[in-house]
Amino acid sequence: MEKTSRVSGFHKKSIGERIQFLKEFAELSGEETSLFGKGGTLDMETADRMIENVIGTFELPLGLVTNMQVNGRDILVPLAIEESSVVAALSNASKMVRSGGGYFTSSSDPVMIAQIQAVNLTDPFAAKLKILEHREEIIEMANEQDPVLVKLGGGCREIEVRVIDSLKGPMVITHIMVDTRDAMGANAVNTMAEALAPYIEKWTGGKVFLRILSNLADRRIARARCLVKKDAITPGPEIIDGMIQAWAFADADPYRAATNNKGIMNGISPVVIATGNDFRAIEAGAHAYAGRTGQYRALAKWEKNAEGDLEGSIELPLAMGLVGGATAIHPMAKLIVKILDVRSASELAEITAAVGLGQNLAALRALAGEGIQRGHMSLHAKNIAIMVGATGDEIEKVANQLKEENKIRVDRAEEILQSLRK
Ligand code: MEV
């Protein structure tokens, strides 16, 4: 019989029934099937409430970054990531950053933007002003949607109206700017935008289509800077010029900027994931911000100060929350927030920005010096050894020989393992 993925009422089935269906569909063995249906730190019941059609949970390694000091406070930062070297690189970079007193951070208010798109307007510029004439009313109506947020000190702060050109003619785009306090805020701002849409139609005579937040959260900026004393940099101060050259390359060339910023996100996304935040929102926001001038550029900046020390800084949108999302539900995310000991979503975002900056420092230092492969290959060699079946002591032995021979390859690992076992 033909296999079909068309299943009605799959969401109504029990977790066990879903797994049974999957087992038959994908022809899984009993052993394979046993990987589903059990939570780790995230229990099945909670997981089943978080998303639809749950069959299991998915784990990533969680590593602890040491040596970080942020605004004079020593912190430990857990990262959820599959890539080797990231945790070690950030711990190492943060040790160098301590020479300048650690990372220093700040942030804007946690202001999210939601967009309301009005079309079919022959008089877009008049429509824009008609909307702006209702500024106070709009702010008031938006705030009526979320009295709890207003009570907590948040709420709609400002509006902005833009006329944009599109392939479908001019569009009038209203932005509401909402301080969402400790929430990521997607639900709050989307509700407000939806409530305002009929009024925008009434005042302009246009037709509203989209009412949705913008992930280019450029009113919710987290900043971090650090200073690395020239004598604290390994291998030595002579590497600083190369690091600044590496940064300037990224800032000038989108091909390099993408990789440079990927390295920054190597730090940022794992904090976002570990704290149960929306990593797609953060990634989208960071990359859109990197391209906001029309050219995609480096997210951080590196310069040499008058003393010859290295100074780094980063500013980017980080729409992270502590309440209202998975952060407040996922048991491990809750614990990680406790370890970070943050009082607000802004403080969490600031630490996350510092993590991104430290990661960039580590990458530029390695790239301007020995390259990244030596560090990477050492862990990679162990992975290759495990892949060919090495266990216990064999892993280290196979990995060491692969490294010695500078041949970190599966075929060679198999040969080494065989000769070890003879
Ligand atoms: C690898 O995951 C990240 C780097 O490529 C970042 C960079 O090139 O800046 C090392």
Domain boundaries, the chain: 10-50, 62-106+221-369, 111-214, 374-421
> What tens digit of pLDDT does each residue of 339-356 get?
999 999 999 999 999 999
Would you say residue 372 has pLDDT above 90? Answer: no
Would you say residue 1 has pLDDT above 70? Answer: no
User: Which residue numbers are catalytic?
Assistant: 83, 262, 278, 376
Please check whether residue 97 is in contact with residue 233, taking contact to mean a CB–CB distance below 8 angstroms. no
Distance CA 117, CA 347 (A): 32
User: What is the whole-number distance in angstroms between the Cα of residue 89 and the centre of ligand 1?
Assistant: 11
Is the CB of residue 266 below 6 angstroms from any atom belonging to ligand 1?
Answer: yes
Task: Tell me which CATH code domain 111-214 carries.
Answer: 3.30.70.420
Protein residue with its CA nearest to atom 2 in ligand 1? 263
For the chain, what percent of residues have pLDDT higher than 90? 93
> What tens digit of pLDDT does each residue of 4-27 get?
999 999 999 999 999 999 999 999
Task: Determine the straight-line distance between the first and last CA of the chain, rounded to whole angstroms.
Answer: 48
Would you say residue 119 has pLDDT above 90? Answer: yes
Per DSSP bridges, beta strands 207-214 and 111-119 are antiparallel
Query: Could you give phi then psi for residue 113, rounded to 5 degrees?
Result: -115, 135
| Tokens, residue 379 | 């862990």
Please check whether residue 302 is in contact with residue 287, taking contact to mean a CB–CB distance below 8 angstroms. no
Q: Per-residue confidence at 324, pLDDT binned at 50, 70, 90?
A: confident
For the chain, what percent of residues have pLDDT higher than 70? 100
In ligand 1, the atom with minimum distance to the C-alpha of 86 is 2
pTM: 0.92
Would you say residue 199 has pLDDT above 80? Answer: yes
In ligand 1, the atom with minimum distance to the C-alpha of 260 is 9
Is the CB of residue 324 below 6 angstroms from any atom belonging to ligand 1?
Answer: no
Check residue 371 and give its pLDDT. Answer: 82
Per DSSP bridges, beta strands 171-179 and 111-119 are antiparallel
Please check whether residue 367 is in contact with residue 246, taking contact to mean a CB–CB distance below 8 angstroms. yes
In ligand 1, the atom with minimum distance to the C-alpha of 246 is 9
In ligand 1, the atom with minimum distance to the C-alpha of 266 is 2
The preferred substitution site among 247, 372, 377, 380 for testing ligand 1, maximizing ligand atoms within 8 Å of CB, is 372
Could you give the angle at the alpha carbon of 91 between the alpha carbons of 215 and 93, nearest 5°? 85
Protein residue with its CA nearest to atom 1 in ligand 1? 263
Instruction: Count CB neighbours of 15 within 10 A.
Output: 18
Please check whether residue 22 is in contact with residue 36, taking contact to mean a CB–CB distance below 8 angstroms. yes
Q: What is the DSSP letter of 27?
A: T
* C-alpha Rg value of the chain to the nearest Å: 25
> What tens digit of pLDDT does each residue of 224-280 get?
999 999 999 989 999 999 999 999 999 999 999 999 999 999 999 999 999 999 999
The class (CATH top level) of 374-421 is mainly alpha
Q: What is the mean pLDDT of the chain?
A: 96
Instruction: Count CB neighbours of 405 within 10 A.
Output: 11
The fold of the 62-106+221-369 domain, in CATH, is 3.90.770
User: What is the whole-number distance in angstroms between the Cα of residue 259 and the centre of ligand 1?
Assistant: 6
Per DSSP bridges, beta strands 111-119 and 300-304 are unpaired
Closest CA to 79 of 97, 93, 60: 60
Is the CB of residue 403 below 6 angstroms from any atom belonging to ligand 1?
Answer: no
Distance CA 362, CA 12 (A): 48
- Polymer length of the chain: 422
Closest CA to 183 of 347, 345, 353: 345
Is the CB of residue 376 below 6 angstroms from any atom belonging to ligand 1?
Answer: no
Q: What is the DSSP letter of 100?
A: G
In ligand 1, the atom with minimum distance to the C-alpha of 364 is 9
User: What is the whole-number distance in angstroms between the Cα of residue 262 and the centre of ligand 1?
Assistant: 6
Integer CA distances (angstroms), 182 to 172, 221, 329, 334, in order: 30, 14, 15, 14
Is the CB of residue 373 below 6 angstroms from any atom belonging to ligand 1?
Answer: no
Is the CB of residue 263 below 6 angstroms from any atom belonging to ligand 1?
Answer: yes
**Residue 374: in which H helix or E strand, if any?**
helix 373-387
Please check whether residue 364 is in contact with residue 89, taking contact to mean a CB–CB distance below 8 angstroms. no
Q: Can you give 324-365 as a three-state secondary structure string?
A: CCHHHCCHHHHHHHHHHCCCCHHHHHHHHHHHHHHHHHHHHH
Is the CB of residue 359 below 6 angstroms from any atom belonging to ligand 1?
Answer: no
Would you say residue 77 has pLDDT above 70? Answer: yes
Is the CB of residue 258 below 6 angstroms from any atom belonging to ligand 1?
Answer: no
| Tokens, residue 310 | 């290295």
